[in-house]
Structure formats: C-alpha cells, structure tokens
A = this chain, B = another copy of it.
Amino acid sequence: MENRIFNFGAGPCTLPLPVLQQAQAELLCLPGTGMSVLEISHRNKKYIEIYESAIRNLRTLLNIPSNYQVLFLQGGATLQFTMVAQNFLRGTGKSAGYFNTGSWGTAAIKEAKKEGPVVTVWNGKESNFNRIPKANEWQMDENFAYLHFTSNETIGGVEWQTEPSAGDVPLVCDSSSDFMARPIDVSKYALIYAGAQKNAAPAGVTIVIIRDDMLAKVPENLPVMLDYKIQADKESAYNTPPVFQIYMFNLVTQWLLNEIGGLSNMYAINQQKANLLYSAIDQSGGFYEGHATSDSRSIMNVTWRMPSEELQDLFAKEAKANGMAELKGHRSVGGMRASIYNAMTVAGCQTLADFMRDFQRRHG
C-alpha cells in the first residue's frame, strides 16, 4: 500500500478515510448478505435498509421538513439543469429567473433556455465571476416560475453566504459543490440538487431534495427518467439506482453524524480550513492574489493567481512532490485552486498553508 496524498481536486475528490476503510473491509461481502454491495439487488431488503438509512441521516443532518422528499438520481447536475426546466418551466407560460455567478450558472442557463424563457437576474461576467451579487443588485419578479442560483461556483471559488430571498417564488439551488458543508434552512427552498462527487459520495449519483408542492406541478408525459414525480413515487428505484454510490452516501452521512457531530461542527471545521488558506493569501503581500472578493469567498474552493505562469507550474510541481495534488485551476480559467471539501482535513490545509509560505519565501 502506497502512502495516500492530500488531494485538493475539485471533484471527484477526497473522501473520508474511515468511509473508504469500511467500504474496503466489506467490499467482498456486505455483512449479512453473502455478497458484495456491488452485487446486491435494489429490491433486496438489505439495500432498502441502506437507502432508508441514507435518507434518515440526511434528514437529520439538514433538518429536512417532512413535506420534502429525497431522491437519488443519475446524470449529475447537468441533467438537473434540464429536469428542473422541463418539469417547472416548459409549458408554464412563465419565465424563470437565473443568477449567473460562474461557469455552472452559465451552463444551467444554457440548458434551461432550451426549454423556456430565462431571465438572467444578475450576471457576474463583467467582473470575471469574482463575486456574488448584493441584495440591491438584482430584481425579483413575482411571476417567475422559479428562481435558480448556484450556491457555490467550483471554478471561480465564489459562494453565497446566505441564499437569495425569493419570496413566494420557488427557490431552486444547484448545491453540488457545497452540499452538506454547513447547515441551511431547507424550508426556504423548493428544490435543492447536488451531484455527489464533492461532499456526498463518489461520482455517479445526484441527490435531490424537493418540496411536495413542486411534485404536484410535474407535467404529464415527461420521459420517465426525467420526471421528478415518478422518481419520488418509486423511491428512486423506477429502474436500477446506482446502489454503490447510495451505499457510500450512507457511510458519508454516518461519518458526518457520528464522527464530525453534524453540520454545525462541519461548518466550523470548514471555516477553520478556509481561513488557513485565505490567511496565507492575505498575508502574502500580493504574491498570492485571491480571485474572489472577500465577501464572496468560497469555503470549498480557494482560488488564486501567482505572479507568473512559470511560478504557478513550479508551485504545482513542488506541491505534488510534497504530497499535495491537483492544485492547478480549472483549465477554462487557469490560476491555482485548492478544493477543500468536507473530507479534506485541517492537517491537509495546514500543510498547504505552510507550503505556500515556504514557497513564497523561496520564490517571492
């Protein structure tokens, strides 16, 4: 067994070590079944136990009211871009409001426009997607079919500190990259979706939290796999769900509950981790230049630039040699990025912050 490194990748990304260890220990034989979780039927009662445990844990972690359903779907946030618009925009005669705070907001809008009219209520493109809008910078329209926002932009590294006010309009959130990173008030949302591969599970499942009144709005005759109502009625098993990812999600939620102690604790740890890196940036005298404005900084994805491409390449190379991987920014924007999701440890962030200071001493 080789040594594991600190993986700062933006997703798929590091998972909690105790979760990986349990999955490994029982990979040939899930206790009580005589088979691997990779081989178990989604109609088997042991799977049903896992599925129900996962939902119960998530309900506890996020304090989800009883008039919301939890779904496990496939296709990532990108298929949700389509599903949200096909279920709740197309054919309504209304427009939907979308915030464009970065690459994912842009992608959500692009897919929604294929289904119906979209109003971009705020666009961060002019400022190179380096911030979240203030409350007085955008206009609500009470006739929107829904209002959509991306709670954290993985590529730019900007994050809503609190959700926008939608009034009586259904609030829809792409929470892929900060899902379960902190407590939220689910009752403010009509629909939350999250690709799992940041904080929740390995890539291959998408978690959806949807309010019952939204399910009642789903139109007739949608493709069955794109129909939230059918997926809810069939408890996410209309066809074969991604059993392994749901099993892993259950283990991750157990870890959050039992080892971390819930999302308030997780949030405090995440703030501590982010502060380690933002302090290294802020104290660098401009050697590390943060991308996000200070009031919009993400606690999940810390992004910065350095004085030259050469220094950035050298930084990534030296970091790798010191056991810290995946620190280059997204290929579409360049720069540097440290993704520090729930499973990244304080020790990992401290190691990186120390390295940043050391690197600056040597090359600054």
A residues lining the B interface (CB < 8 Å): 1-5, 7, 9-15, 17, 20-21, 23-24, 27-29, 31-32, 34-36, 38-44, 74-79, 81-82, 86, 110-111, 114, 195, 197, 202-205, 221-226, 238-245, 248, 323, 325-326, 331
Contact = CB atoms under 8 A, between A and B. Distances in A.
Instruction: Return the 10 tightest CB-CB contacts between A and B, nearest first.
Output: A5-B34, A204-B242, A82-B223, A74-B74, A38-B202, A24-B27, A78-B239, A79-B225, A76-B239, A203-B240
Given A78-B224, A203-B241, A248 B7 contact: no
Of A17, A20, A39, A331, the most chain B CB neighbours within 10 A belong to: A39
Nearest to A17: B28
A245 B204 contact: yes
Query: What does DSSP make chain A's interface, helix, strand, loop or mixed?
Result: loop
A39 B23 contact: no
Contacts of A9: 39-41, 44
Nearest to A14: B39
Contact of A34 (B77, B226, B240, B325): B325
Given A29-B4, A240-B11, A82 B203 contact: no
A35 B325 contact: yes
Nearest to A79: B225
Contacts of A78: 224-225, 238-239
Contacts of A239: 76-78, 195
Given A39-B7, A114-B223, A243-B203, A31 B2 contact: yes
A12 B248 contact: no
A111 B223 contact: yes
A27 to B, nearest CB: 4
A357 to B, nearest CB: 23
Contacts of A3: 29, 34
A201 B222 CA distance: 29
A124 to B, nearest CB: 21
Given A75-B75, A76-B239, A204-B74, A1 B28 contact: yes
